[in-house]
Structure 1
Amino acid sequence: MQLEQKKAEAAAQLARTESYLAVDPGNTELLARAIDLGLAAGDAEKAAAHAQAALRQHPEDSFFQSRLGHVLLAQHQWEAAAALFSALLARFADANLAYNLAFARQAQGRFAEVRAALEPFARDAALAAPAATVLLRALHHLADFDAALALIARQEAQGQTDGVFFAVAGVVFLDAEQLQDAQRCSEAALAQGQASTEALVLSGSLALGHADGARASQAFEQALARNPAEGRAWSGLGIASMLELELPKAQQQLEQAVHYLPEHIGSWHALGWCRIFRQDLPGAEAAFRTALEMDRNFGDSHGGLAAVQALQGQRALAEEGIERALRLDRQSLSARYAQMVLSGEAADPVKFSVLARRILAGRPAPLGGSIGDLLAQREAR
């Protein structure tokens, strides 16, 4: 309601400013004000019209070129905005121009270019919190954890943080397995009233790591209400459903996870095991083969595929896969499960939940340990 009121007030001020422009159309101060009021009112078309009018009169004016860039960002014209801010940045080494360029490239998923735009301004001093957040997201997507953790330390040391920054930093710490810092950042983000998608995914992951499936599911669902394409939330929700052995629901959620986050090997593994639980062996094989295509040096991918081959009766292939998995990871529990199948330990009829528990015991949990540990914690309550 407050946002709508602010938009209405900006629209009223814009109408008055436009009445002045009708009398004095070349007034640069009025043109600049009309552009900003159009953006504040959520009327990008009017803002664009005023920006273009200003540039017709002052085509080389960098200020009005920059204002047009902001209009293009509001219109989600990412490539046009990036081209404009890139040209301006070539003329002026300015951190704000770099931020606007990086913002456009982030929206396009071009994270290496986000880094290239912002990192020169982050070497000697802290960035403003919004720019640092965009750079941190890029470093996270590029899996450069050393650079990401150094950026977090530098921003915190100089006090250039906010709730959104802490939410993204918490996810970085979570993936870097620095769990106390992840918890600290989650608390800082929530204390600042931050309920961004990243803050909710972080909160859900931490709840899942403490075997609180209900709280985890609530956080992941809230994240998905904000962004239905958030793959990490779908993955966490799928694992929460697996903990409750709600397997049809878990499979649907994990299939959404790999749709939106196709490069996340852990989600492919979870989907593979979920399909095993549901006795969909061709589907499980496809999931583990996809994981192998991304990284052939991950022991659990070989072990998961070996488990499928063992269940399919392909003994020779399963033994080869077990050998590869154990060569890469002597503790590979997926390989151990495949060995159990080959030895006949899994041949006798058992309750489905017991079988699921055996397999789940080897899957990594979000905060270390295993999903089996989470099940044990939940059952002890």
Structure 2
Amino acid sequence: MDIDESPQDLQFRAEVRAWISEAFDDELRAMMAQSKNGYLDKAAQVRWQKALHARGWAAPNWPQAHGGPGWTPTQRHLFQSELAAAGCPPVSPMGLKMVAPVIMKYGSPEQQARFLPRILASDDWWCQGYSEPNSGSDLASLQMRATRGVDANGEHYILNGSKIWTTHAQWADWMFCLVRTSREGRPQEGITFLLLDMRTPGITVSALPTLDGPMEGQQEVNQVFFDDVRVPAAQRIGEEGMGWTIAKYLLEFERGGSFAPMLHRQLDKVAAMAAAQPGEDGTGRLVDDPVFRQRLGATYVRVAATEAAELRLFSGVASGTSIGAASSMIKLVGTETAQAISELAVDVLGPYALPFVRDTWAEIQGRAADPRLGPDDAAPIAPRYFNYRKASIYGGSSEIQRNIIARQVLRL
């Protein structure tokens, strides 16, 4: 893809920057600076996404027929780059980036009319029901039962079981969920894709503590229990037993995406912190230490390689090529590079990176903060480090991504 910017591209970039300077206000900037996972709490996240929606920019990858802006791949890349450079929050992916493409491809016209406008406007908040306590990366082994039946209210499924590591289930209005509707044949053949209203009787959400700590407003993962939960068959996407095919299609969107702009910003921040830290001997600057500079330079090379891979992917999409295994490559290099940057940040700050040195979100929200103090930049560093440990597991572990690349790209 030709990445030389045309006059139209330069004008578009300026338009995006001008909008960000107005919409990304001081309150949102302060909260993002202290976010451990790159997102805001629900109220602020919805406010940000509704601002994007009002401008027509909430779903850059959606087709115009469903409310997308009709941008070129170059415009989408420029847009994501400007958001990342400004430190803006990404949109919550479960609705806009994950289930929406599935509904567009496999949903009925009635399902598209019902769900897509509310997803686009961030009126409905979504979570993903894939993993189970005994079925992590081996998704085909999932066991949550869905028994089909008919009563006076029509055809339905009764769900029993649980889902785990369910991000933001405590906030969700809806869940897209994989359930087992048959045990005959191969395990993949008995899986069905359902949409669940989280207010349905029999659903219980239980928060799970994580190593990144109880930072207020940023509790992230949950276990969700289902006890005779009734789901209308009209909320099934595709035919019964198609869930595995649909899940693989969705994972292309979960695994892919634009990592490089975010990685550039994070690494630049690490370099700036290193410029303010003394060297190993207590003199000079850490950024001037030759061993540290070698690590920093090598990480910048990884970020550049990630960006090159993403540009190749965007070029393929522009020519009509399926994302396919390329999403596994982006997911692999993107998440592992993000982890490397978080490790480097902890090393730069040393003792100031101790977890929970300062609850700056508490101060922003007017609550009592932990009395121990540390630099503002230090507060989210350790929680972010711990939070990013999961990045090489969710959406398919790095080992699974390498297997996909070996089979589909290297033909091993």
TM-score, L = length of structure 2: 0.23
Higher relative contact order (CA 8 A, sep 6+): 2
More helix by share: 1
TM-score, L = length of structure 1: 0.24
